[in-house]
Structure 1
Amino acid sequence: MVAVINYNAGNIRSVLYALERIGVAHELTSDHDRIRAADKVIFPGVGHAASTMAHLNESGLADVIRSLTQPVFGVCVGMQLLCSHSEEGDVDCLGIFPEQVRQFRPGPGEKVPHMGWNEIRLNDRAGWLSPEIDGQHCYYVHSYYVEPGPDTVATTNYCGVDFAAMMRRDNFYAAQFHPEKSAAAGERIIRDFLAV
């Protein structure tokens, strides 16, 4: 069973639809015991880092997520909240990844949020991903990014900035883009996570 964490974030339904298309048993839940008992956990969402972290702390979900030992996949703001700190609301996050979340500062002619399709490049830490993912385009919607660090397994460039497209540390995996909206490449990435 895959538990999809239900909290005060948007865009969770698209993850559920993607799991339905793949044919994977899943449930949307905020129940601590159900999340801890799941085979895999997906931590998705779109939202504001500070308000979302406040909800996670108040509900006890922050401690639940930190305690998980099964594979966990953070998506979009879920990836950012797994980091140590975000400039969005100047908030301390879950601290799974030591990296910082920064705001894009666009130059002339550059637009933020970063919205649309962009190429991802795998590095030598991406052994859990299918090799054909390298060079594929995935779908992004974000105004903040994670600095590349030792946990980065794939990068993308926007506004002249290289940033972490995907990360992994121990049992925690993450993507800044939306794999559930990234066509065949995104489905392959979800399947790769489900196979770890």
Structure 2
Amino acid sequence: MNSKLKIGIIDYGVGNTYSIFNALSYLNYSKVLITDNEREIETMDALIFPGVGAFDEACNQLAKRQLVSVLNEQVLVKKKPILGICLGMQLFAKSSDENGLHEGLNWIPGKVKKIDTNNQFPVPHVGWNDINIEKDEPLFKNNTDHVHFYFDHSYHFECDSKFISSWCDYGTKITASVQKDNIFGVQFHPEKSHISGLKLFRSFLSSI
């Protein structure tokens, strides 16, 4: 394990930042910084992009803190590894239907849409759900298929299957995680998923 890895948790006012910080500290990563500072973000080896709340407010906060250009530079040009969590993952999409139509970062082709379970299950989707793993590497190399993670969302990321590394069944097929090159995202909350979540953080960071 590279405990000297410099990890930046992006702070844009709508993230579960301290829970993630505590999880990484528990895993003995000592150089973890919660930041919205462009210069600090540029010095990081890996980024974590949390998110809780509504898509439009998240977009407003990213614009307000002038974070879009530095994130585009670090992720798309410098190819820095990034892990998006819940709303953080959804912001990778081209657009979202939540509270009207809003443009995302457009890093992974796809759209964020309201979950439709045909009234089989309640929305929001809250609680533990097992996932079906399509790609072990790198996020799930320490977890087994049908492992449980904690979800809390009303919207989900619809995209081409080639970008989906895992999914769950909730009356409809819900994208549980995505990956494209150096860009990774999970719909669930690893920081709330106990040992399974810690294993996922370790898998992501040890792959760098």
TM-score higher than 0.5: yes
For 1:62, the equivalent position in structure 2 comes to 68
Residue aligned with 1:145, SS = strand
Alignment of 1:11-50 (within 5 A): 11-24=16-29, 25-50=31-56
Mapped contact 2:111–2:159 kept (Cα < 8 A): no
Report Cα offsets for 1:95-136 as digits up to 9, x if no partner.
00101111013433521110000011111x332131633210
Instruction: Check 1:39–1:10 CA distance in 2 against 1; reply closer, same or farther (3 A cut).
Output: closer
Q: Contact 1:148 / 1:155 at 8 angstroms: preserved in 2? A: no
Deviation at 1:28, TM superposition (A): 0.4
Native 8 Å contact 2:16 2:52 kept in 1: yes
In structure 1, the residue matched to 2:3 is: none
Per the normalisation by structure 1, the TM-score is: 0.94
- Runs of 4+ aligned residues of structure 1 deviating over 6 Å after TM superposition are none
Q: Given the alignment of the two structures, is residue 157 of structure 1 paired with residue 157 of structure 2, yes or no?
A: no
Figure out how many residues of one structure are paired with residues of the other and give that number.
Answer: 194
- How many Å separate the matches in 2 of 1:133 and 1:165? 15
Residue identity over aligned pairs, in percent, reads: 31
Unaligned runs of 5+ residues in structure 1 are: none
1:62-101 equivalences under 5 Å are 62-68=68-74, 69-89=79-99, 90-101=101-112
User: What's the secondary structure of 1:116's corresponding residue?
Assistant: strand
Deviation, structure 1 residue 185 = 1.1
Contact 2:143 2:200 in 1 (8 A): no
- 8 A contact 2:142–2:203 mirrored in 1: no
TM-score scaled by structure 2? 0.88
Instruction: State the Cα deviation string for residues 25-55 of structure 1 (Å, max 9, x = none).
Output: 2010000111121011000120210111122
* Structure 2 CA distance for aligned equivalents of residues 132 and 5 of structure 1: 26
8 Å contact kept, 1:74–1:175? yes
- Coordinate RMSD, CA, aligned: 1.4
For the residue of structure 2 that corresponds to 1:63, the secondary structure is: helix
Which deviates more from structure 2 when the two are superposed, residues 101-110 or residues 78-87? 101-110
Q: Secondary structure at the match of 1:147?
A: strand
Please tell me whether the aligned partners of residues 57 and 63 of structure 1 are also in contact (alpha carbons under 8 angstroms): no
